[in-house]
Homo-oligomer: A and B are copies of this chain.
């Protein structure tokens, strides 16, 4: 089946056929997206994009982080940018990108504009995210490695699907919306390290709102924007990985959540060490094996700033075992670099590259001062029971937002009774 037809069928999936496991994760993504957005709203890029929206003004259709009302398109731009400002949001590794920050701002903005029930917004997000994953997987490593940012590119198509679903676009209109997205979607990895990176998430979201609205107005486009002649795939270096996941069901179930405010490459080690539960001061030596790609990224031997601590296996191993709250972005201070206990601990952490570990895995041994050797291993891709993940995400929200974060996660059971507008009132105010 042509990808465009697969996506169009997907977009029309009846709500009662959506897999329950995926819907649970979609709710988690909503709450985690809200957590990241509320936590990021004072970041410089978030303030600037709000100033842009305030200058532009327009119909009061949808709420932004920071409490502006704006047209749906503009709210999507602000909220995607704001929620990605801390880079603390969810990741789907096969998609190669971040799903909630590109798609929930679009779905929420249109949901609020239409006064839709939140359950429809969540279903629309799930279908948009699944569309973005399938498109992202097919764009593949070639697209990413050459310089495109799937969060923005595949994400725009996902946002288009989510918004189009909420607007009730017909099959033919959704096809036109995807065709329009093929000429609208953009986003480069050259923005990494600048405010352009979070902006890319906002672009995905706002492009999705526009393309669905344009199609609803009857603006015509290419018949197959993805694989048609001069379509998005042939122009944007699509090169699907031969090992691309192909299976029944929703790839969205593999979505991963960032639980610690440090480099993702250190998270498997942190989980492995925490699972041992050994006391910091009883550890003599740690031997860690990790995918070689991470050695150049997060093995800072002598961090000089709090930011560099986020990329230091040695420091983070010590912090994890002594109980520092690694989900609290305020914990990564410059003063940590002068913490003699951590520095001494880090000297006893030995890191080596190991091609048998995927980039989501870590393995090793902890040698205790009493001579006991404790092997550990963690795979971030391994399924995590929903209740465990819920507890970890609630802890993350509480670290970031204190009581507001706990109250946000307490809403989980009521989400299906709320409208999109209600949710903003309960969560953000």
Contacts and interface: CB of A to CB of B under 8 A. Distances in A.
Give the interface size bracket for A toward B.
Answer: 35 or more
- Copies of this chain in its oligomeric complex: 2
Interface string A322-346: 0000000000000000000000000
B186 A185 contact: yes
Contacts of A210: 52
A228 interface: yes
A245 interface: no
Given A186-B185, A230-B189, A59 B49 contact: no
Contacts of A191: 179, 183, 221-222
Contacts of A217: 48-49, 51-52
A73 B44 contact: no
Interface string A388-417: 000000000000000000000000000000
A244 to B, nearest CB: 21
A194 B218 contact: no
A85 to B, nearest CB: 11
A235 B148 contact: yes
Contacts of A55: 59, 71, 213
B235 A147 contact: yes
B230 A147 contact: yes
Contacts of A45: 219
B48 A71 contact: no
A270 B218 CA distance: 36
Interface in A54-82: 55-59, 71, 73-74
Interface string A159-203: 000000000000000000001101111111111001110011001
A84 to B, nearest CB: 13
Nearest to A60: B57
A213 B232 CA distance: 28
Contacts of A73: 56
A152 B183 contact: yes
Contact of A219 (B56, B180, B199, B218): B199
A199 B214 contact: yes
A202 to B, nearest CB: 10
Given A57-B59, A183-B190, A185-B186, 8 more contacts: A44-B218, A45-B219, A52-B214, A180-B196, A188-B231, A188-B235, A191-B221, A194-B222
Q: Which 9 A-B pairs have the closest CB atoms?
A: A147-B230, A58-B58, A190-B230, A186-B186, A190-B222, A147-B235, A196-B221, A48-B217, A56-B71
